[in-house]
Amino acid sequence: MFPFILSAFLAFNSYTSHPPIDDDKLVKKAHKIHQRVLTLDTHADAPIMMQKQGFDVGATHDTKRDGSQIDFPRMKAGGMDAMFFAVYTSQGPRTDEGHAEAKRNALNQFDLIHQALKKYPNLAELATTPADAYRIQKAGKRAVFIGMENGYPVGSDLSMLKTYYDLGCRYMTLTHFANNLIGDSSTDPDGPIYGGLSDFGKKVVPEMNRLGILIDVSHVADSTFYDALALSKAPVIASHSNCRALCDFPRNMTDDMIKAIAAKGGVVQVNFVSDYLKKPSDANRAAKTKIRMARVGKVVTPEMEARMTAQSDSVAKIYASERASLSDIVDHIDHIVKLVGIDHVGIGSDFDGGGGVNGLEDVSQIENLTVELVRRNYSEADIAKIWGGNLLRVLGQAKVE
């Protein structure tokens, strides 16, 4: 692993404009730090791959061959101690039938995660608390937390939050790419329908506080963000969002939003999606938006999913030269740290959901990020906070009666 990390770092270093550094010494220092700190990623879309027939999260896969970026062996190889596996449901029809299908889909994903952990007890274990993460790390296993991306599977039934909590859910992204019954999304093609949280959404937030489910404001409209922030008695997180000041896109956080999250004690988890790290060309963004929005309001069939995957692969090849680098990730971390300090930033890769940049293709390469943080003079204490300490602090504050 170590020689590979060094060669990979030297390769991506050519993308940056920083002065030359003694790379060998720096990489060795970063390696030692990476081994000591607890590394945690708040947004991993591994369940997307786990739903594919024949995919085994306990076996090593190849990103170029099957597109997968996460499995237990590669987590170990990269020194990734803990990840939140995201139970993701695309936004379908806001109907009884649509919500029933979303609940079935979500429950199936929870089951897939639990079955994988039961199958590989020597490799990974379910975590629901900060103490679990440290205990499982000490045992040499991977800690798997569970988050939910999109409140769509809640439907209009508040009691479903308790169901998901009991299955291990410890954060929920209120919306995804389109509006749901909880509130407005930042990217719904039809625009807002509530002007923020819905009346039902204003019941969801306090219930999440009561249970101890972190409120995740990634993907929500700005108005929904401020409604949720005002209503929540616990800190909130952005589980996989970047800085709008560096990449102007409504999915990213404005400086004022970052300051507001920090003022409430929360954290912004920087993601690895190229389009949210550096602004793509209009043609690139339009092509990707068209593919993404094709699923909104629909029940996605396997055939439709395969077609959209092929289209996404084609667009990625056409616009490969616009892809972000590892240095771009740390530019966003730097911006947040300069804005609100070291206690309010973390990592939410979005691997298996669009994350991946030059120099950081899958979970086995995440030590390269630690190398870049060391190169930018972050201390070990700082890196420990970025890689997991900040998020675990906030998770410990999620439950408010």
Cα 88-56-8 angle, rounded to 5 deg: 85
Cα–Cα nearest to 212, from 168, 150, 153: 168
Candidate from 8-17, 63-72, 339-348 with smallest mean pLDDT: 8-17
Supply the mean pLDDT for the chain: 90
Which residues lie closer than 8 Å to 59 by C-beta, 6 or more apart? 71, 73
| Segment holding 125, helix H or strand E | strand 124-126
The answer to whether 247 and 222 have CB atoms below 8 angstroms apart is: no
Which residues lie closer than 8 Å to 97 by C-beta, 6 or more apart? none
Q: Would you say residue 315 has pLDDT above 80?
A: no
Q: How far apart are CA 28 and CA 122, in angstroms?
A: 29
Q: What is the pLDDT of residue 321?
A: 54
The answer to whether 239 and 84 have CB atoms below 8 angstroms apart is: yes
The pTM of the full predicted model, rounded to 2 decimals, is: 0.88
Strand-pair category, 267-270 with 237-238:
parallel
Residue 169 has phi, psi (to 5 degrees) of -65, 130
Q: What is the pLDDT of residue 101?
A: 97
pLDDT-derived band at 62 (thresholds 50, 70, 90) equals very high
- Residues facing 82 on adjacent strands: 40, 143
Q: How far apart are CA 166 and CA 399, in angstroms?
A: 14
Over residues 291-302, the mean pLDDT reads 62
Place of tokens 């630690």: 370
How long is the chain? 401
pLDDT-derived band at 299 (thresholds 50, 70, 90) equals low
Q: Would you say residue 277 has pLDDT above 70?
A: yes
Q: How far apart are CA 28 and CA 22, in angstroms?
A: 10
Beta carbons within 10 angstroms of residue 378's beta carbon: 22
Residue 88, classed as helix, strand or coil, is strand
Cα–Cα nearest to 347, from 397, 396, 382, 376: 382
Q: Would you say residue 305 has pLDDT above 90?
A: no
Cα–Cα nearest to 125, from 68, 85, 165: 85
- Residues 89-122: tens digit of each pLDDT: 999 999 999 999 999 999 999 999 999 999 999 9
Residue 277, classed as helix, strand or coil, is helix
Q: In this prediction, what percent of the chain has a pLDDT beyond 70?
A: 84
Kindly state the tokens that stand for 87. 């139970």
The answer to whether 359 and 368 have CB atoms below 8 angstroms apart is: yes
CB pairs under 8 A, 24+ apart, for 377-386?
Answer: 380/33, 380/36, 380/37, 382/342, 383/33, 383/37, 384/36, 384/37, 384/38, 385/342, 385/343, 385/345, 385/346, 386/333, 386/342, 386/345, 386/346, 386/347
Over residues 278-295, the mean pLDDT reads 62
Tell me, rounded to whole angstroms, the distance of Cα 219 from its chain centroid: 11
Q: Would you say residue 251 has pLDDT above 50?
A: yes
